[in-house]
Amino acid sequence: MENTTSPKELNAVLVGSKMSRKYLVGNIILGREAFEPTVMPSHCEKRAGDVCSRRVTLVKTPGWLRGYRLCDTPELLKTEAMLSVSLCPPGPHAFILVVSADLAFKQVHKKSTWEHFEHFYGQNVWDHAIVVFSGHRSSHETIEHYIRMEGEPLRSLLEACGNRYHVLCEDSMGSDVKVRELFEKIDAMVAGNNCCHYEIESKLLQSIEERRTEVEKKAKEIRLRSETQRKKLRALIADQVCAECCT
């Protein structure tokens, strides 16, 4: 592998479906239990640490339902994922697209991943992306065997990422070697991008933030209406029970 100058800082965004186990990849990279496996937030989570002589900042985005279309994903989740790039200024060096190799990867999963990834970050995101497999099935001797078995859907996704991929599984926890190899691949990718990080236009970022504010406002209004309706229903039930007791 080509030697590239390692940056003092590394900013990366973890992207993937709810079943991709982004938390596991984040924990392996940071070498600690930084992300909780049971938490399924609608907001981004940011964690940082010193790894392999550099300051690493990871932003874990909320995941979409695996295999579901973009139109089925809530607007709040979409805007949160888009805003993830603003949490690691001046921008991420890499997007780590996490895929669980414990699960089949068919055309529907490719389409779902493709739709969400490009909607969040634009068509140029593939130049800044690397696929990280969160483990691989024991029935496959190597990750390459798994890739061959899954066929065109997974192969075309990897090709879009410049055939950049890596494996981090649970027995890799605390493995400096596996993490350092991942950093080397990211460094080579960054060098290929002329050492540029991913950037988002300030006007677009402002537009996304305004959209999130509007979505959160509507969500709050819906919650308040629902709570009011529940209170009215409880009051009606209580009145009916009281009337029946008095007869």
pLDDT of residue 197: 78
What is the rounded average pLDDT of the residues 52-57?
A: 94
How far CA 14 is from CA of 28, 67, 149, 231, 236, in Å, comes to 12, 18, 25, 41, 48
Distance separating alpha carbons of residues 146 and 124, to the nearest angstrom:
27
Q: What is the pTM of this model?
A: 0.81
219 pLDDT tier (thresholds 50, 70, 90): low
Lowest mean pLDDT among 65-69, 184-188, 212-216: 212-216
pLDDT of the residue at 142: 85
Residue 7: CB atoms within 10 A of its CB come to 16
For the ranges 10-24, 42-56, 201-215, the lowest mean pLDDT is seen at 201-215
**229: helix, coil or strand?**
helix
